[in-house]
Chains A and B, each alone.
Chain A
Amino acid sequence: MRIGVSLLVAAATILGVAGTASAQQTLQQVRDRGSLNCQVGLPTPGFYALAANGTWSGMDVDMCRGVAAAIFNDPSKVQYQSVTSAVRFTSLANGESDMLSRTTTWTAVRDGQLGLEFAGVNFYDGQGFVVPRASNITSARELDGATICVLTGTTTELNLADYFRANNMRFTAVTNENVNVLVETYLGGGCDAYTNDKSGLAARRSAFPTPNDHMILPETISKEPLGPVVRHGDNNWGDIVRWVLFGMIEAEEMGVTSANVTEMLRSPNPGIKRLLGVEGNVGQGMGLPNDFMVRVLRHVGNYGEIYERNVGANTPIGIPRERSLNALWTNGGILYAMPFR
């Protein structure tokens, strides 16, 4: 009996310690460890893709590399933790991951209840449908009574139900947790339409036997702002991730690229001077060197470069950027970085 009691006391003590300790100084921990623990998801083309040679690449991976470059001046000092979406938030909350960069939608519940801090949006996505051209369906409104393939365990299922209910339509869902199985079902005629985030639809459609026989319907039935996430309680760390992202967007707006960043250091433009840390002390307040954006841009590049490299029109995924939400606000999109000053 006595052993049991002392064990309980010990467990309670350890719990108490763990509860208070895991808040501040993520930056210091990362520096001590010598690498950034960046959580991505199971391999997904365009965002966190794993190549046969074992390297990670993608929009979200570049976010990790950007933060690592800002801290270490070396984008390779990242340990990628690829975990299923079921444990993504616990893995962040228990301190295993320093940040999460894995197409996670910014929602009120996640932000408010799960102890998360969204650092910004690096991709504006939205749920859509892909249908065979032969079906002559040209709008999501014509899907009444359709059988629809949908991924389980994400918000796509909920969005789908919401959209059909709001428009007073009915549907039959074919669900699976494996995208590939769903795509096979869709291609085999097991459902009339396949729904997912439009970036995912574009990627999958590119791998169909005959991509042109299928079309993505124009409607976007949900807002999916995807961005990096950190834990509650360490605001400075959140600032670092946020301003690395803003810096990438700002750099594109100002025309600073990985190729010309060295010349740009001599630019007379005060905005560029502040961005690159030639003037002002933006970095200092966050515990970074003032030229942290020079490191990010030199090693990873600005937002436009990241976009074109990973999901742009010249990649197999090919999500056009013009006139999309992900264009800069100056080009008709909604990508807008807060000012560097």
Chain B
Amino acid sequence: MSDAPLVFTPRPADPPPPSTIGVVGWMRANLFSSVPNAILTFLGAYIFYVVVYAIIDWALIKAVWEAENRRQCLDMVGRSGACWPGVAAWIPNLIYGLYPKDQVWRINTGFLILIAWAVPLWLPRVKSKVAIGLSLVLLYPLLVSYFFHGGAQTLVWTALIALGGAAFLWVWLTTLAEMRFGLGFGALVARLAGAADDERARRIGWGALAALYVLALLIVSQLSFVEVQTRLWGGLFLTLVISGIGIAFSLPAGVLLALGRRSQMPLIRVFCVTFIELFRSVPLITILFMFNTMLPLFLPQGVEVNRLLRAIVAVCLFASAYMAEIVRGGLQAIPKGQYEAAAAMGLGFWQSTSLIILPQALRIMIPSIVGNFIGLFKDTTLVSIIGLFDLLSMSRAVGEDTRWLGLFIEPFFFITLIYFVFCFLMSQYSLNLERRLGEGQRR
């Protein structure tokens, strides 16, 4: 017998029965737990197989990838396989509309600027995110409208474009400065210049911004793009322009309308209630018709408001009315105690709204807001009715091209994928946002 102390060592546990672990176990528990479940599983798998196989068979296996026109496709596989060359020939139009093909780089550049502008919002150690976000919504459109539309610059026009350009330069300089030195662009310049006191530093900071603006003015006045009229805009590009402006406009406008509706001031309240109820009670299509066909009647002779602009205004107004009600719902979910606490802290209306109420309200509204954005993105297809060639109407045009006459399932299939990708990304991003912002409230 050894003197080693007796230590209790439990016998290693038996492995779980093989039928309950791994793939087999999961399948037994979830798919074949009972006879009816097993039958349903097989039935479901069969239906899934039939549908997916039919789609893959049509879209990939039997599909034609090279042909001169639809007749060749038909001669090869009849209607049992997709005819992709027609879609391929129309892809430039589906994406950019009838935008001159040699100018398409301007659209691409415009969207690259958008991405570059938004990147700092996700970078660490960047403190001016609110300012960057605001400049993105307010000043980016000024810059990019020149890229998209082009044409002769007037004095005011140039000044506004330069404002957008300067904002873009400022965004990146500030981002770099804050990531590297922890100071904003203006403050960094002041520090480098060795400003003695705050007053001087502020003045140098403003001076640096002015210099930036002059620089942007110089660059912008050198740009000269050919005019591309909006009637040539189309496809995915147009869909993104309309829904982008609609989204960017409707959120702030919706917040203001919702606040106005809860306001104590009768004039503002009546205006907001009237606006919201009017636009919510009328279908979007009616508003589009109204703006498109009635507005020109009310305008004096010779004044032509751009057709696209009319559609955008209609979409914006409609979307903000809906957004207002979503925001109002969010505001009402905030307990009264929060308002009272804010008031007890001595915060005024705007301070308590922007610092206490809205941040909480917006967080709980994210799912509905993004739902509304997705709806808006898809609603833009209605502009096809007033003759704008958005993605949907462009895909219809493929089947009316003499060479690809009758080809309409394939373009629909293609744009379905595009719509899916965009909407899915939006909803995934909103889930991600909810997860991050809701971290502190998880139960």
- Which of B74, B79, B397 is most buried by chain A, counting CB atoms within 10 A of its CB? B397
**CB-contacts of A196-217 with B (<8 A):** 203-204, 206-209
Instruction: Enumerate chain A residues within 8 angstroms of B70, measured Cβ to Cβ.
Output: 207
**Cβ-based interface call for B300 (8 A):** yes
Check B405 against A204 for contact (C-beta < 8 Å). yes
- Which of A91, A208, A209, A315 is most buried by chain B, counting CB atoms within 10 A of its CB? A209
User: B406 contacts which of A43, A52, A204 (Cβ < 8 Å)?
Assistant: A204
Interface residues on B, range: 35 or more
**CB-contacts of B133-164 with A (<8 A):** none
Check B89 against A14 for contact (C-beta < 8 Å). no
Chain B positions 392 through 409: 1 when the CB is less than 8 Å from some CB of chain A, otherwise 0: 010011011111111011
CA–CA, A50 and B299, complex, Å: 31
**CB-contacts of B396-442 with A (<8 A):** 396-397, 399-406, 408-409
Check B401 against A51 for contact (C-beta < 8 Å). yes
The verdict on A84 contacting B294 (CB below 8 Å), with A180-B399, A207-B70, A207-B406 known, is no
The verdict on A317 contacting B301 (CB below 8 Å), with A52-B89, A82-B389, A209-B78 known, is no
**Cβ-based interface call for A183 (8 A):** yes
Closest to A22 in B: B301
The verdict on A18 contacting B300 (CB below 8 Å), with A50-B400, A54-B93, A54-B98 known, is yes
Instruction: Enumerate chain A residues within 8 angstroms of B232, measured Cβ to Cβ.
Output: 54
**CB-contacts of A279-332 with B (<8 A):** 315-317
**Cβ-based interface call for B17 (8 A):** no
Nearest CB of B to A270, in Å: 40
**Cβ-based interface call for A172 (8 A):** no
**Cβ-based interface call for B385 (8 A):** yes
Closest to B393 in A: A42
Closest to A80 in B: B231
CA–CA, A82 and B80, complex, Å: 33
Closest to B70 in A: A207
**Cβ-based interface call for A161 (8 A):** no
CA–CA, A340 and B50, complex, Å: 68
**Cβ-based interface call for A45 (8 A):** yes
**Cβ-based interface call for B122 (8 A):** no
Check A180 against B385 for contact (C-beta < 8 Å). no
Chain A positions 168 through 190: 1 when the CB is less than 8 Å from some CB of chain B, otherwise 0: 00000000001011011001000
Instruction: Enumerate chain B residues within 8 angstroms of A22, measured Cβ to Cβ.
Output: 301
CA–CA, A208 and B408, complex, Å: 13
**Cβ-based interface call for B298 (8 A):** yes
**Cβ-based interface call for A44 (8 A):** yes
CA–CA, A284 and B400, complex, Å: 40
Interface residues on A, range: 35 or more
The verdict on A21 contacting B406 (CB below 8 Å), with A82-B387, A87-B386, A187-B79 known, is no
CA–CA, A21 and B401, complex, Å: 39
User: A49 contacts which of B229, B294, B387, B401 (Cβ < 8 Å)?
Assistant: B401
**Cβ-based interface call for A81 (8 A):** yes
Check B397 against A11 for contact (C-beta < 8 Å). no
Nearest CB of B to A264, in Å: 31
Check A87 against B292 for contact (C-beta < 8 Å). yes
**Cβ-based interface call for B351 (8 A):** no
**Cβ-based interface call for A236 (8 A):** no
Check B93 against A18 for contact (C-beta < 8 Å). no
**Cβ-based interface call for B110 (8 A):** no
The verdict on A316 contacting B401 (CB below 8 Å), with A17-B300, A94-B294, A94-B297 known, is no
Check A43 against B403 for contact (C-beta < 8 Å). no
Check B402 against A94 for contact (C-beta < 8 Å). no
CA–CA, A52 and B68, complex, Å: 13
Check B389 against A94 for contact (C-beta < 8 Å). no
Check A45 against B300 for contact (C-beta < 8 Å). no
- Which of B101, B232, B399 is most buried by chain A, counting CB atoms within 10 A of its CB? B399
CA–CA, A316 and B71, complex, Å: 10
**Cβ-based interface call for A262 (8 A):** no
CA–CA, A52 and B231, complex, Å: 16
The verdict on A15 contacting B298 (CB below 8 Å), with A43-B397, A44-B400 known, is yes
**Cβ-based interface call for B289 (8 A):** yes
- Which of B294, B386, B402 is most buried by chain A, counting CB atoms within 10 A of its CB? B402
CA–CA, A178 and B406, complex, Å: 11
Check A87 against B296 for contact (C-beta < 8 Å). no
User: B385 contacts which of A18, A84, A95, A208 (Cβ < 8 Å)?
Assistant: A84
**CB-contacts of B261-309 with A (<8 A):** 289, 292-294, 296-302, 304, 307
The verdict on A29 contacting B231 (CB below 8 Å), with A83-B387, A84-B387 known, is no
CA–CA, A86 and B229, complex, Å: 24
CA–CA, A86 and B79, complex, Å: 32
Closest to A15 in B: B298
Instruction: Enumerate chain B residues within 8 angstroms of A235, measured Cβ to Cβ.
Output: none
The verdict on A45 contacting B293 (CB below 8 Å), with A204-B406, A316-B405 known, is no
**Cβ-based interface call for A90 (8 A):** yes
**Cβ-based interface call for B90 (8 A):** yes
Instruction: Enumerate chain A residues within 8 angstroms of B409, measured Cβ to Cβ.
Output: 184
The verdict on A83 contacting B386 (CB below 8 Å), with A43-B400, A207-B405 known, is yes
Check A42 against B397 for contact (C-beta < 8 Å). yes
Nearest CB of A to B103, in Å: 12
**Cβ-based interface call for A79 (8 A):** yes
Check B293 against A90 for contact (C-beta < 8 Å). yes
Chain B positions 30 through 74: 1 when the CB is less than 8 Å from some CB of chain A, otherwise 0: 000000000000000000000000000000000000000011001
Nearest CB of A to B217, in Å: 31
- Give 7 pairs: A residue, B residue, CB < 8 Å, sorted on A: A11-B298, A18-B297, A50-B400, A52-B89, A79-B229, A81-B307, A207-B406
List the 3 closest A-B pairs by CB distance, nearest first.
Answer: A83-B387, A21-B301, A207-B406
User: Beyond A52-B89, A94-B294: 18 further Cβ-contacts under 8 Å?
Assistant: A11-B298, A14-B300, A17-B301, A18-B297, A42-B400, A43-B397, A45-B402, A50-B397, A52-B92, A52-B93, A91-B293, A96-B304, A180-B396, A184-B408, A207-B70, A209-B79, A315-B402, A316-B405
Interface positions of A (Cβ within 8 A of B): 11, 14-15, 17-18, 21-22, 29, 42-46, 49-52, 54, 79-84, 86-87, 90-91, 94-96, 178, 180-181, 183-184, 187, 203-204, 206-209, 315-317
